[in-house]
């Protein structure tokens, strides 16, 4: 009887492994050169869309997709600090694409990149000026009286204030994704401003806005060494085109912040951060009190369990403050502030659950 | 940590976490917050002083400084904003745009 060759040393397996490693090395070299040269960048925000309304830097996009089988239309209100393509990162990994694919009529209100012209944009400008006009256009082009509003991060605050402060809002569903309510729970992101170590004026530059670099630094300092592990993961997976494309897309987005309009920033710091006013359930806006409990319609509070930008304790009070208590629901999802809206985890958890909730609270289109 | 990760990658991630955790704790400390606010103020003061000196030099030569240009841009931006608002008001009066209903 001949001695058995251990499995690990089986010549066939060894040869296969060597072949695989050689192939991967070639692919690593090719992708490495492309990565360093900055070529083969993935297409970001690529879902086809039409601009249906525009005012200043703000644009309202309506996404093209398959059949629009459900109404009312879904309108995504993006945050003021980042680029909206995070929700339409790349084909196959896009919340927008998922929603349109499910038969929903999806709109996105994108705020553009603010400059000197937008320095005076305050919360009233967004809540009482842009939103009513953009949503009137949504109603006009979609033919629906009602809307489903989806607010992401600070966009959720704007959406909630609009839904609460406008009688004509006709918001059937209000979905708040990672929307901060309790700014005392926001941790390191706002600690410098809350405790008065820095004043808003010290962060506002000559354009009248908070520069994008300052916002990037704030996010970067939450986990300053994590880039090392991310780069190591990239090196290991450099042979994998899909991984490299996803990595490049996320890396591009995470550095692509936009300036924060100065007037809105001053209000944010004074009212939301220092006075933590949302926790009182009302906020003075445009000479009136906007009471969050006045939101009519269903409220879904979606939060990410490992969110270190807007941690769950900052989001949870939505369940006690916004809308009618009998029409509030909570959705806890795995992932962090960004990864619960994009990436594999989002595709597996957030997108199906969010889509199912919206469809459950919509009507089939005639 | 997935079991199929190579040893070197696991080692890098472990080292990153070992170093990263204390750094993350440090950047959430009062000392760090004080350092950031002091640095920001010093930076602004130094930049302001340098700008003041260069402005005076340029004005001596009857040349506009960056801050003059900035001031002009801000005035232009204010004017453009006002014009935009007026155009919207006119459009709303003509009934081309919906007015905002505030409650």
SS3 A15: helix
* Residue B96 scores a pLDDT above 80: no
Task: Quote the number of domains for chain A.
Answer: 1
A191–B5 CB contact, under 8 Å? no
**Pairing of the two strands A147-152 and A171-177:** parallel
Please give the average per-residue pLDDT across B72-97, as a whole number.
Answer: 84
Chain B residue closest to A125 (CA)? Answer: B100
User: Which residue range(s) make up the domain with B44?
Assistant: 29-63
| pLDDT number for residue B103 | 42
In a domain, B48, yes or no: yes
Give B101's pLDDT tier (boundaries 50, 70, 90): very low
In a domain, B5, yes or no: no
CATH number for A152: 3.40.50.1820
Q: Give the gap in angstroms from C-alpha A133 to the nearest C-alpha of chain B.
A: 6
3-class secondary structure per residue, B26-84: HCCCHHHHHHHHHHHHHHHHHHHHHHHHHHHHHHHCCCCCHHHHHHHHHHHHHHHHHHH
Those residues whose C-beta lies under 8 Å from the C-beta of residue A1, and which sit 6 or more positions away, are none
pLDDT beneath 70: ranges in chain A = 1-8
Task: Quote the number of domains for chain B.
Answer: 1
**Pairing of the two strands A58-63 and A70-77:** unpaired
CB atoms within 10 A of CB A5: 11
CA pair distance A248, B9, nearest whole angstrom: 20
* Residues of chain A in Cβ contact (below 8 Å) with chain B: 55-56, 115-117, 119-120, 128-129, 132-133, 136, 165-168, 187-188, 191-192, 195, 197-198, 202-203, 206, 208, 221-226, 228-229, 232-233, 236, 286, 288, 294
pTM given for the model: 0.87
| pLDDT number for residue A7 | 55
Nearest to A89 by CA among A241, A251, A237, A239: A251
In a domain, B54, yes or no: yes
B36 in contact with chain A, both atoms CB, cutoff 8 A: yes
Q: Output the CA–CA distances (angstroms, integers) from residue A59 to A46, A79, B15, in the order listed.
A: 16, 14, 45
| pLDDT number for residue A1 | 45
Phi, psi of A349 (to 5 degrees): -110, -60
In a domain, B92, yes or no: no
User: Which residue range(s) make up the domain with A157?
Assistant: 49-186+278-364
| pLDDT number for residue A41 | 78
Tokens linked to B51: 């700008």
In a domain, B36, yes or no: yes
Give B-chain residues touching A289 at CB under 8 angstroms.
Answer: none
| Stronger pLDDT, B89 or A149, i.e. the higher one | A149
In a domain, B23, yes or no: no
B77–A232 CB contact, under 8 Å? no
For residues A305, A309, A313, A314, the Cα torsion angle rounded to the nearest 10 degrees is -140
Q: Output the CA–CA distances (angstroms, integers) from residue A80 to A16, A33, A231, A334, B70, in the order listed.
A: 51, 35, 28, 24, 24
CA pair distance A21, A315, nearest whole angstrom: 46
In a domain, A25, yes or no: no
Contact A49, A99 (CB under 8 A): no
Give A-chain residues touching B12 at CB under 8 angstroms.
Answer: 228-229, 232
Q: Output the CA–CA distances (angstroms, integers) from residue B89 to A129, A149, B83, B99, in the order listed.
A: 12, 27, 10, 9
| Stronger pLDDT, B27 or A173, i.e. the higher one | A173
* Residue B102 scores a pLDDT above 60: no
B80 in contact with chain A, both atoms CB, cutoff 8 A: yes
In a domain, B34, yes or no: yes
Tokens linked to A118: 């937008």
CA pair distance A121, A82, nearest whole angstrom: 16
CA pair distance A295, A354, nearest whole angstrom: 20
CA pair distance B13, A294, nearest whole angstrom: 48
CA pair distance A284, A33, nearest whole angstrom: 54
| pLDDT number for residue B3 | 65
- Indicate the range of A24-38, A159-173, B16-30, B52-66 predicted with least confidence: A24-38
CA pair distance A87, A178, nearest whole angstrom: 13
**Torsional sign, CA A311, A314, A318, A319:** positive
Nearest to A180 by CA among A353, A289, A338, A309: A309
Nearest to A116 by CA among B68, B67, B76: B76
ipTM score of complex = 0.77
Give B-chain residues touching A129 at CB under 8 angstroms.
Answer: 100
Q: Give the gap in angstroms from C-alpha A310 to the nearest C-alpha of chain B.
A: 15
In a domain, A208, yes or no: no
Give A-chain residues touching B70 at CB under 8 angstroms.
Answer: 206
Nearest to A208 by CA among A305, A277, A120: A120
In a domain, B77, yes or no: no
| pLDDT number for residue B97 | 57
| pLDDT number for residue A285 | 95
Helix axes A226-236, A241-255, angle to 10 degrees: 160
B16–A229 CB contact, under 8 Å? yes
Nearest to A63 by CA among A110, A25, A21, A22: A110
């Amino acid at each position: 009887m001949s001695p058995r060759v251990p499995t690990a040393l089986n010549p066939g397996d060894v040869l296969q492994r060597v072949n695989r490693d050689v192939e991967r090395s070639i692919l690593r070299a090719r992708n490495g050169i492309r990565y360093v040269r900055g070529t083969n960048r993935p297409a970001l925000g690529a879902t086809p869309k039409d601009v249906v309304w525009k005012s200043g830097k703000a644009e309202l996009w309506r996404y093209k997709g398959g059949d629009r089988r459900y109404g009312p239309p879904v309108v995504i209100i993006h945050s003021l600090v980042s680029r909206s393509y995070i929700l339409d990162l790349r084909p196959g990994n896009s919340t927008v694409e998922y929603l349109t694919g499910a038969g929903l009529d999806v709109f996105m209100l994108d705020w553009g990149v603010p400059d000197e012209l937008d320095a005076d944009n305050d919360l009233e400008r967004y809540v009482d000026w842009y939103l009513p006009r953009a949503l009137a256009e949504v109603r006009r082009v979609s033919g629906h009286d009602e809307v489903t509003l989806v607010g992401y991060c600070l966009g959720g605050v704007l959406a909630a204030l609009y839904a609460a402060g406008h009688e004509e809002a006709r918001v059937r569903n209000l979905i708040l994704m990672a929307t901060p309510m309790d700014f005392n729970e926001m941790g390191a992101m706002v600690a410098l401003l809350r405790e008065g170590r820095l004043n808003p004026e010290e962060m506002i530059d000559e354009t009248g806005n908070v520069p994008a670099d300052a916002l990037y630094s704030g996010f970067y300092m939450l986990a300053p060494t994590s880039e090392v592990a991310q780069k190591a993961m990239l090196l290991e997976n450099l042979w994998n085109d899909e991984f490299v494309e996803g990595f490049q897309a996320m890396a591009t987005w995470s550095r692509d912040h936009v300036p924060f309009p100065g007037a809105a920033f001053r209000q944010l710091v004074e009212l939301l951060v220092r006075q933590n006013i949302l926790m009182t359930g009302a906020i003075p806006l445009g000479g009136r009190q906007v009471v969050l409990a006045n939101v009519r319609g269903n409220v879904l509070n979606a939060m990410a369990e490992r969110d270190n930008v807007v941690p769950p304790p900052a989001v949870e009070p939505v369940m006690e403050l916004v809308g009618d208590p009998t029409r509030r629901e909570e959705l806890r999802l795995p992932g962090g502030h960004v990864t619960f809206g994009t990436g594999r985890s989002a595709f597996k958890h957030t997108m199906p659950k969010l889509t199912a909730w919206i469809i459950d609270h919509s009507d089939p289109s005639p | 940590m997935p079991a199929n990760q190579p040893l070197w990658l696991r080692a890098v991630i472990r080292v990153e976490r070992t170093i990263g955790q204390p750094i993350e704790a440090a950047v959430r400390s009062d000392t760090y917050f004080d350092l950031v606010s002091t640095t920001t103020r010093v930076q602004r003061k130094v930049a302001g002083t340098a700008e003041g000196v260069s402005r005076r030099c340029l004005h001596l030569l009857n040349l506009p400084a960056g801050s003059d240009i900035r001031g002009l841009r801000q005035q232009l931006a204010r004017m453009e904003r006002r014009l935009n608002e007026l155009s919207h008001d006119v459009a709303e009066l003509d009934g081309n745009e919906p007015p905002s209903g505030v409650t």
